[in-house]
Amino acid sequence: SREPLIRFEGHYFDRRLSPANRQRARTDGLASPSAGAVANPRTQAGRWALLEKACAIDAKAANESVSWGIGQVMGAHWAWLGYADVDALVAEARCGVAGQVRLMARYIEKAGLAAAVCRRDWEAFARGYNGPQYRRYGYHRKLAAAYHRFRAESGEPLPEKRNTTLRIPKSPARKALPATAIPTKTQAARPVKPRFWNRLARTFSSFLGRG
């Protein structure tokens, strides 16, 4: 296994800092009031290094300014999603693919998108999950293509019954992982149950974790 895919958002970081820390972060090229002005390195190793520098200024603000894992859920949503703090959300994402799916599932349920997933309405889902510019990036088409590709590859069609209630897998009891340190040994992924969540994770990971 490996660390979750991340993307650092410098404009999120900028508005979460004290005036003194904001000036320091802007000088170091880590924060900007404009979205997209702080470029993400092409490699994930580079992005984790960027996050480590941001954490040295303000760890809480830095972790809130990252989109985490398969579903690319922003750390800033920790309270809305029911986590005790941003460190708990980060620990969930870093414990493996199962934790990332639990995080994504919480977001889907909280945002009222469960029904769209269950009826395979990828346009409605993309509108709610990715925002009003979903058509510009073709997220609805990518979701549909990834779903049909995985369904064909699996040779095991999903049930046709439309159940609009998503069950969020329960997080196992565990000690929280450090939120600021880059581990030298990654955490092993736990198996995901029920099987639907593994399928969902595989479908989304084809594009939501890129950027």
Q: 205 or 25: whose pLDDT is higher?
A: 25
- Residue 206 confidence (pLDDT): 44
What's the CA gap between 186 and 102, in Å, rounded? Answer: 19
Q: Is the pLDDT of residue 203 over 70?
A: no
- Residue 13 confidence (pLDDT): 98
The chain-wide mean pLDDT, for the chain, equals 82
What's the CA gap between 167 and 188, in Å, rounded? Answer: 23
Yes or no: say if 67 and 73 are a contact pair by the CB < 8 Å rule: yes
Looking at mean pLDDT, say which of 3-12, 169-178, 195-204 comes out highest.
3-12
- Residue 62 confidence (pLDDT): 98
Mean pLDDT across 76-92: 98
Yes or no: say if 81 and 90 are a contact pair by the CB < 8 Å rule: no
User: pLDDT tens across 31-54, in order?
Assistant: 999 999 999 999 999 999 999 999
Mean pLDDT across 194-209: 50
Burial class of residue 3 in the structure, from the number of CB atoms within 10 Å of its CB (0-12 exposed, 13-18 middle, 19+ buried): middle
Nearest one of 200, 26, 210, 38 to 103, comparing CA atoms: 200
Give pTM, 2 decimals. Answer: 0.75
E strand intervals along 40-198? 66-68, 73-74
User: pLDDT tens across 125-182, in order?
Assistant: 999 999 999 999 999 999 999 988 888 887 756 555 444 455 555 555 544 444 433 3
Residue 113 token pair: 């998108």
Q: 1 or 50: whose pLDDT is higher?
A: 50
Q: 1 or 73: whose pLDDT is higher?
A: 73
Residue 75's identity, in one-letter code, is G
Output the CA torsion 70→74→77→81 (10° steps): 0
Residue 20's identity, in one-letter code, is A
Q: Is the pLDDT of residue 190 over 50?
A: no
Tell me phi and psi for residue 68, to 5 degrees: -115, 130
